């Protein structure tokens, strides 16, 4: 279980103030791309709020901010949790990270595209980000589009999010050389037991031939 922010009273006060401030930025049913700033480090472009060190995206901004602070001390002990380590470092300097919303979009896939493009732009401007996704490491200076988002970031989508982004799923069986064509995701999710929560749950679909060796579920992003 995560520690509730920080044992130091002054840091807890700063965290609570930041949570209250960011709660006012939230809007219902909207995906946001946000940045985190380090007030203890000089910003390359001169912002008084400090250097940007992380870009993220979420549908529930207030909860994401709370979670970032609640689990930072615990997660910072893990080798690859660079963002949490940075949060703890800022606390130890007597300060608190600041959050900013930089873009608002309607769907999950649009949000992933926004997050990637913002991360790569910032890296090109000289910011050192703690983002771990490969596509966030400045590998390209070109803007990515919805078709560039890696499948491993799409499989966790809820069925409703996939429908909103017009993502299609097809069952392909190389054993009987059959492809279903795009499936009706809402009807399929109602028919399956147990009901799928994410696109990844559709990987258990079976072909009518009963053979599993050549069966796979194919994602398509138009």
pLDDT tens-place string over residues 35-48: 999 999 999 999 99
pLDDT (mean) for 29-35: 95
Residue-wise burial string across 123-144, b where 16 or more C-beta atoms lie within 10 A, e elsewhere? beeebebbbeeebbeeeeeeeb
CA end-to-end span of the chain? 40
Is residue 137 scored above 90 in pLDDT?
Answer: no
Predicted pLDDT of residue 175: 77
What DSSP assignment string belongs to 192-207?
Answer: SSSPPSBGGGGGG---
Residues 6+ apart with CB under 8 A from 137: 123, 131
pLDDT digits (tens, 9 = 90+) for 147-196: 999 999 999 999 999 999 999 999 888 777 777 789 899 998 998 989 99
Q: Is the peptide bond before 205 cis (omega within 30 degrees of 0)?
A: no
119's enclosing H/E stretch is helix 108-124
């Amino acid at each position: 279980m995560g520690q509730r922010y920080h044992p130091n009273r002054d840091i807890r006060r700063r965290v609570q103030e930041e949570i209250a401030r960011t709660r006012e930025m939230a809007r219902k049913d909207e995906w946001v791309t946000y940045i985190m700033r380090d007030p203890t480090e000089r910003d390359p472009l001169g912002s008084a709020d400090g250097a940007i060190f992380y870009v993220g995206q979420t549908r529930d901004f207030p909860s994401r901010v709370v979670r970032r602070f609640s689990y930072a001390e615990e997660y910072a002990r893990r080798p690859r949790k660079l963002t949490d380590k940075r949060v703890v470092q800022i606390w130890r300097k007597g300060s608190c990270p600041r959050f900013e919303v930089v873009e608002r979009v309607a769907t999950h896939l649009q949000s992933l595209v926004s997050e990637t493009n913002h991360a790569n732009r910032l890296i090109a401007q000289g910011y050192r980000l703690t983002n771990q996704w490969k596509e966030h490491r400045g590998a390209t200076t070109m803007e990515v589009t919805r078709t560039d988002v890696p499948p491993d970031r799409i499989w966790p989508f809820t069925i409703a999010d996939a429908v909103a982004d017009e993502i299609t799923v097809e069952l392909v069986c190389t054993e009987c050389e059959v492809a279903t064509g795009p499936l009706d995701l809402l009807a399929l999710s109602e028919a399956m037991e147990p009901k799928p929560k994410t696109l990844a749950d559709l990987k258990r679909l079976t072909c009518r031939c009963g053979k599993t060796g050549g069966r796979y579920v194919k994602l398509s992003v138009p």
